[in-house]
Structure 1
């Protein structure tokens, strides 16, 4: 969607455009209500500020939509398509890496009670695995901060991919 279209879309259409970026109603409402944006950069800057901070409840809600690293969602939704694209660097045919990620995911979920979340776009599978191993050493409070930051980065990157100048 072009920025001009987003700026002039009715509120429901604007919200529908934003929701796949991150399903946090407060963020969706804030960004949609701040229109019009003079530039794409202004939109992205506002979206980033509006996403900081996410509350614990918002993080938990948003996390419900994220698949495990290495698992490709099969749904035909915009969000699932974005996730598949973001995880393009994780080759499921690399069985050793896939197993290492699966094992790391299990350990992470046992420790933190949620799926491991990382902005996968632009990262290689070995980088993701290394980050997973490092983050397993974090305290729950440290990890909460990191997860919220990763969600912010994902939301803004997804929005950047959806809106054209």
Structure 2
């Protein structure tokens, strides 16, 4: 159940080992604090399954369904698709991984602005930002599972 939220076994194991939780809120609070220091290797392994923002996620698994839902809430992608694709390529060239951002509820212009800002980061500055975004996505997905 947890792996589609974020494919970091250490996080999944910590959350599962802490059961039982008395409320969904308790589970979410614990999950936000579990494995607070994602390593670069864990982040890179987890991002293998993440599609580029603006690309249509493929597959029929839970993670692909999450990605489709999260990206469906982004408004205005059509107008900046080319700029977003170029930014994704620049990010991948710069950092060696896909650009990751909690897209749910954001406009395409906001995503592009954040992408352009993060392209200015050093590797040391960017890694904790990616880890925080990965955690935000995991919590958002876990909330979705709890509310399903």
Bin for the TM-score computed over the shorter chain: over 0.9
CA distance in 2, matches of 1:164, 1:109: 34
Q: Is the 8 A contact 2:15 2:30 kept in 1?
A: yes
CA distance in 1, matches of 2:19, 2:55: 35
Residue in structure 2 matched with residue 137 of structure 1 by the alignment = 120
Structure 1: tracts of 5 or more residues without a match: 1-16
CA distance in 1, matches of 2:107, 2:42: 28
Q: Which of 45, 50, 60 is matched with 1:76 structurally?
A: 60
The superposition leaves residues 4-46 of structure 1 with CA deviations (integer Å, 9 ceiling, x where unpaired) of: xxxxxxxxxxxxx111000111111111111110111110010
Q: Which of 137, 141, 146 is matched with 1:158 structurally?
A: 141
Work out whether 1:23 is the aligned partner of 2:7: yes
Structure 2: tracts of 5 or more residues without a match: none
Q: Is the 8 A contact 1:51 1:152 kept in 2?
A: no
TM-score, normalised to structure 1, is: 0.85
TM-score, normalised to structure 2, is: 0.94
Q: How many residues align?
A: 147
Q: Which of 47, 50, 71 is matched with 2:34 structurally?
A: 50
Please list every run of at least 4 consecutive aligned residues from structure 1 whose deviation after the TM superposition is greater than 4 angstroms: none
